[in-house]
A and B are shown apart, each in its own frame.
Chain A
């Protein structure tokens, strides 16, 4: 019999009125990397919360056997004492504290009087070396990027003597390079004998690192697939997740790009909002035709979001120069309202932070960007009409909700994203800038979002799509711009581009930049 470090048997967890987990079984082999996949709401996080004691023993039925012993965790700390540590999707770090302080938060190294800072920082450094994080332990969290913050979380887990590391969507906010580094780190840990469970939507990553893949659907285990030979087919996983064949990951579309240019941005330069001498976007020019999907690829920090937001009514940056033409006419957009009035939409990558009001209903969020459409000339809202149009969008986009009065906070990520798209479709946008439109949503919902994008361009609208997932850009776009360090380094037709050609463009420009710097220095 295989040596299992963890056996969860017949786990059933009910919330009022809902069975979140229904007789779930999970077996994890010692020293392996085990992937947990499933659509949003399939019960992956719930299962991990049961394991970690976030849901205490008694609130679920079934048994957890860890290291051959039956375990009953009453709280998070109980499971941590056994070396089970979860790194959550949303990083729980305090920006104003240093890396070292964050790593030992709640687990402080105590000295004779209070905290022993020397011990804290030297321990922190030890674990930071293990994860390959080259920073000083006294650096503040707010001064390092998301990729490094993720490493801090893992180093923090190591400091708790982790034996079973659980990662919930560890790469969702990382770019491809950082993500690859993280995955290699997991493989390295595996060599040293650590066991990991990884929850992820990114199937290529799972295929790359996982030894075994357990598929959950609607709160039940569907199957466990073996991947020790690293030869799993992504379509095979998808089939298990959605319960049907998803033959095409991208819906087909008639490419009917018009000659008419709807948006032309020329010589666009943007300075950092706080550090004015720092140039974030440097001399960028690009155009979008009617009926065209234009992609922006690049690493995180390449300046794509900053470019998009600065074009959208100067909502980012300082000292912006350059010109914008919309349908051939030169325009000055000095605030988001003017951009909206000119038919522009910026669909943010951060739907919770910048896009939606989670405490308000679907109806209110839908009409927010152009509420005038449902008002009379005195600004009085026709609430009935509002509910009706919101209902139409719910139907059109297949948003799953009991009613348009539902609060956004109660919807899943994919459905929130649909409401965000509704909001900008309702605003009569002709040019939609979609920033990471499929981040953190499951395969089924992704496909639906792609269909919506295709519908939009079929109606003659223009779409700018910023994405860190290259297959998505290659599958959806007509043309792709590649950005690096605030500049456009390549423009190509999507059908000529490959992941390799895009990566090459980025790396070449990195090299050139370095060479330039050296020339300047010497």
Chain B
């Protein structure tokens, strides 16, 4: 095929490529509308919309960490569900049995997760233990340790400060009332303004430096849609308890990971190792450090999830966090991460996680039993990966 012909081919398929780029968004919209109709609108009640994100907080946080592992070459971390349990168990026991302040306990818990991450990262990166096996061992090990720490009991959390740090709803006296939390709307409008300003400033900078720019109409339509979504969501939140601190935790994690993966040289090393490890090594990047970082960050996120989940449920038992790793892996792949590594994005994971969450919640509201939710999850995951493989095959990537 001559170069000219290739260029032509690319232009012809640009409409298709836009469709492909936003295929998961479209899928999410379709699924969302479907369940809204199925549940006669109950899915979009303020309470349900609020819970949609909060109930899936752990998937979003774990998914971000898992993305880095998957980027390095389709590697996964199976141990995180158990880490969630172990860290949650340690935190609750410390809260119940020591007089330490809640904040110190949180720091200690995260530090322990860090130690777990360092151990697994070192084994995988520097000793070259296959990630699957190393983290499978971790899965057994930490689950066992978690149950030992809990002494096979369910331990409730009574420390109010701890619960406030993760689950409190923001309530500003004076502007928020029982019926309408105005602070949520203010927060939403601010977020929308920041998104809009960021886009405009970015375009101004590009114009000033004479860089190539994306089609303006397209960019502004996208920003307008995102803004509308944020504002509508914040209005719904305002009608139900307002903004939860947990939502802020989620947003912070997502923003940090999105920034690292898309804007920093450090983030790019994960894509590089997954794309071609030998070439990466010969380009002066040490793949061992990349694996180490991926598994360290994963365990830190598992630790944070352990704390979040413990706070949201209000207690920890030996089965806490069971199969969370699968939810995280699933949302990564539904969100378009390549099973061979080298491609995937945080935005994709957020969409993947919300898609899974919507299906779960939609079916719960509709009254379908839990078993069917697994069936549907499996089908969705399979469809997403089949779609990914087939469309990549068509665009020429082997």
CB pair B3 A401 closer than 8 Å: yes
CB pair A360 B342 closer than 8 Å: yes
Contacts of B3 in A (CB 8 A): 41, 400-401, 412, 415
**A337 contacts B by Cβ under 8 Å:** yes
For residues 363 through 398 of chain B, which have their beta carbon under 8 Å from a beta carbon of chain A? 396-398
Cα(A3)–Cα(B2), bound, Å: 34
Cα(A15)–Cα(B6), bound, Å: 10
Q: How far is the CB of B330 from chain A (nearest CB, A)?
A: 22
Per-residue interface assignment for chain B, residues 282 to 300, with 1 indicating a CB less than 8 Å from any chain A CB and 0 otherwise: 1111100000000000000
CB pair A18 B396 closer than 8 Å: no
Q: How far is the CB of A442 from chain B (nearest CB, A)?
A: 12
CB pair A315 B282 closer than 8 Å: yes
Spot the interface stretch: B26-34, B169-177, B266-274.
Answer: B266-274
**A387 contacts B by Cβ under 8 Å:** yes
For residues 341 through 374 of chain A, which have their beta carbon under 8 Å from a beta carbon of chain B? 341, 346, 348, 353-360, 364, 368-372
Q: How many residues of B contact A (CB 8 A)?
A: 41
Given contacts A357-B342, A407-B397, are A381 and B284 in contact (CB under 8 A)? no
CB pair A18 B1 closer than 8 Å: yes
Cα(A257)–Cα(B323), bound, Å: 66
Cα(A387)–Cα(B211), bound, Å: 8
CB pair A381 B268 closer than 8 Å: yes
**B225 contacts A by Cβ under 8 Å:** no
Partner of B6, one of A312, A371, A410: A410
**B100 contacts A by Cβ under 8 Å:** no
**A169 contacts B by Cβ under 8 Å:** no
**A137 contacts B by Cβ under 8 Å:** no
Q: How far is the CB of B273 from chain A (nearest CB, A)?
A: 9
CB pair B209 A384 closer than 8 Å: yes
CB pair B271 A360 closer than 8 Å: yes
**A379 contacts B by Cβ under 8 Å:** yes
Per-residue interface assignment for chain A, residues 194 to 227, with 1 indicating a CB less than 8 Å from any chain B CB and 0 otherwise: 0000000000000000000000001100000000
For residues 1 through 57 of chain A, which have their beta carbon under 8 Å from a beta carbon of chain B? 15-20, 41
CB pair B396 A410 closer than 8 Å: yes
Nearest residue (CB) in B for A351 is B279
Given contacts A368-B272, A384-B206, A387-B211, are A336 and B281 in contact (CB under 8 A)? yes
Cα(A379)–Cα(B5), bound, Å: 38
Cα(A356)–Cα(B278), bound, Å: 9
Q: How far is the CB of A122 from chain B (nearest CB, A)?
A: 37
Partner of B264, one of A19, A335, A381: A381
Q: How far is the CB of A3 from chain B (nearest CB, A)?
A: 34
Cα(A313)–Cα(B7), bound, Å: 39
CB pair A336 B278 closer than 8 Å: no
CB pair B281 A18 closer than 8 Å: no
Cα(A355)–Cα(B282), bound, Å: 8
Q: Can you list 8 A-B contacts with CB-CB less than 8 angstroms, sorted by A residue number?
A: A41-B1, A348-B282, A360-B272, A368-B283, A372-B265, A381-B263, A381-B264, A415-B3
Interface residues of B (CB under 8 A from A): 1-3, 5-13, 205-206, 209, 211-212, 263-266, 268, 271-272, 275-276, 278-286, 338, 342-343, 396-398
Interface residues of A (CB under 8 A from B): 15-20, 41, 218-219, 312-313, 315, 335-337, 339-341, 346, 348, 353-360, 364, 368-372, 375, 378-381, 383-385, 387-388, 391, 400-402, 406-407, 409-410, 412, 415, 423
